Structure 1
Amino acid sequence: MSDSYPTPPRTETKVKAAATAGAGAAAVITPFAVWLIDLLAFNGDAPPDVPLPVVGVIGLIVTGLAAWGAGYWAKHTARPDLPSTQR
């Protein structure tokens, strides 16, 4: 019985980029987008008058677009450990 464990596969660059962008968008870009929509569409009164379902949709769209864009434009990770599929 061996005491060593197999090395887990590396996390691909596209996955890292998408996860980082999604978290960053949720933390920074979404509140900015909600503030901007409140300012433009709801006259910027305090407290913010943006309805909660609209805030949720804004968060979903902003986070999804940021994650998709970062994953799409991130560099591809070569995976020589996977078998090639040739026809």
Structure 2
Amino acid sequence: MTKYEKLDALILASIDSGRHSSGSIATGYTRIEAERIATAQPLYDMAKRILDRRLQALRKAGHIKATGKGWIRAGDPS
């Protein structure tokens, strides 16, 4: 298990539950996990930057896509 698998699963669950903007995705357990990863970095990185990098990684992997209204699962007709 990579250090980002739990965060990726939380991000996808947030999108599935109807949260589409980056700000609404970065709440609750998703934010807590991002902060945990951020503080474990040798050079402290902001949780927001980690979340943004994971959103982009999930986009590049074809799991999600960006729309004018926010993030959605790839293949979702919305």
Q: TM-score, normalised by structure 1?
A: 0.28
**Structure whose CA Rg is larger:** 1
Task: Give the structure with the higher percent strand.
Answer: 2
Which protein, 1 or 2, shows the higher relative CO under an 8 Å CA cutoff with sep ≥ 6?
Answer: 1
Q: TM-score, normalised by structure 2?
A: 0.30
